[in-house]
Amino acid sequence: MTILGIETSCDDTCCAILKKGREFEVLANIISSQVMVHRPWQGVYPALAKREHEKNLVPVLKRALKEAGFLTEGKVNFSRKEIDEILSRNPELCKKTNNFLKRYKGPKIDALTVTEGPGLEPCLWTGMNFVKALSSAWKIPIIPTNHLKAHLFVNFLNNKISFPSLGLIVSGGHTQLILMKDKKDFRLLGETRDDAAGECFDKTARLLKLNYPGGPEIEKRAKLTKKTSLSLPRPMIYSQDYDFSFSGLKTAVLYEVKKRRLNKSFVNEMAKETQQAIIDVLIKKTIKAARDFKVKSIVLGGGVIANKEIQRQFKKRVPFPLVFPPSQLCADNALMTCLAAYYSNKRENWKKIKVNANLNI
Ligand code: KG4
Ligand code: ZN
């Protein structure tokens, strides 16, 4: 079975091709990052992200097909009228897609997949409409996928996971603990009540006048100092549930920043303390959930999990078998979308699907 996936839920335009024989084989995994486009705004600007996806989707698809050895010139019998209708709200993408479809044959794949949600609605629709157009032209079904599940399924690429397993997703939009009884049975145990951990990294970085995205910058600065004389709260660390709260942390940073001059040593110490406060809460709640539900493994995912200090402290302090994605697969990519699609395998007709920006687990 070969699946071609598209992911555009936020600010990365991604296309991957995954083949499953006896083992998984990654035929392509292309990520076109928009970081430099959004940097001047210190965050993702949805209208700009949508425009970038419209610009990048066809080139990214072509690169993936080429890498997989699937880019062959030839004729496809498709309805131009149908493509124009599907992409009527994306004129630039519509033109590019028609030109592409006129020039290249359909690849030998069994299914297409695309992120159904959660994510930024205009971005989700751009990817969804593009995949609908491919599905209409190539006559291949679509498996819509949940982006949150995909952040966990990426770990199934190289690992055999023992169930029940606990999933921890830590990204720019989510901080969630999920109980996975098996590959199909997911239950949300708890999540952030306000900001996600990634958002806290990004907002703190902005207060410290560091670049966007803030997570990698905070990690870098934290490494530059051995100790910190600052002390931030650990929000909800002792609450008897599996929820999180990170907005108070950012406010506490704001108060400190107002009192001080932003010199190098203060910024480094604040970076270290913010990172440590987030790590302490994540670890405490993860251990509590893992013990309460007697899980056999913990599976992690999301952009924040790329942080090496987070990984190091989890390995040291959490007494359960841990599974981390390779660093380049922590953040958004379409390979994880293909993996989620492989495990759900719920094929749909393109006419029946739509996005759900608030989709939960
Ligand atoms: O999973 P992701 O790429 O996108 C979402 O689905 O949200 O996560 C992006 C988030 C950003 O908030 C970014 O600052 C954070 O992941 N991030 C990190 C690191 N690398 C990315 N946070 C902490 N340390 C890192 N090394
Ligand atoms: Zn994500």
Domain boundaries, the chain: 2-150+331-352, 163-320
Q: How far apart are CA 47 and CA 135, in angstroms?
A: 25
Is the C-beta atom of 216 inside 6 A of ligand 1? Answer: yes
Q: How far apart are CA 146 and CA 162, in angstroms?
A: 22
- pLDDT for the residue numbered 78: 96
CB half-sphere exposure, 23, CA atoms < 13 A: 7
Choice from 9, 171, 176, 327 to test ligand 1 binding pocket (greatest atom count within 8 A of CB)? 171
Note the pLDDT tens digit of each residue in 80-113.
999 999 999 999 999 999 999 999 999 999 999 9
Note the pLDDT tens digit of each residue in 228-247.
999 999 999 999 999 999 99
| Residue 330 alpha carbon, nearest atom of ligand 1 | 1
Q: How far is CA 117 from CA 94, 190, 273, 309, 358, in A?
A: 22, 19, 33, 29, 6
Q: How far apart are CA 246 and CA 281, in angstroms?
A: 10
Choice from 304, 305, 309, 335 to test ligand 1 binding pocket (greatest atom count within 8 A of CB)? 304
pTM strictly above 0.85: yes
- pLDDT for the residue numbered 51: 97
- pLDDT for the residue numbered 253: 97
Nearest C-alpha to atom 10 of ligand 1 is from which residue? 172
DSSP string, 274-335: HHHHHHHHHHHHHHHHHHHTT-SEEEEESGGGG-HHHHHHHHHH--S-EE---GGGTS--SH
Is the C-beta atom of 332 inside 6 A of ligand 1? Answer: yes
Contact 118, 358 (CB under 8 A): yes
Task: Please provide the CATH number assigned to the domain covering 163-320.
Answer: 3.30.420.40
Task: Please provide the CATH number assigned to the domain covering 2-150+331-352.
Answer: 3.30.420.40
Taking residues 188-199, report their average pLDDT.
98
Model confidence at 35, pLDDT cuts 50, 70, 90, reads confident
Taking residues 49-78, report their average pLDDT.
97
Domains 2-150+331-352 and 163-320 share a fold: yes
- Quote the radius of gyration of the chain (alpha carbons, Å): 21
* Ligand 1 midpoint to CA 201 (Å): 8
Contact 179, 289 (CB under 8 A): yes
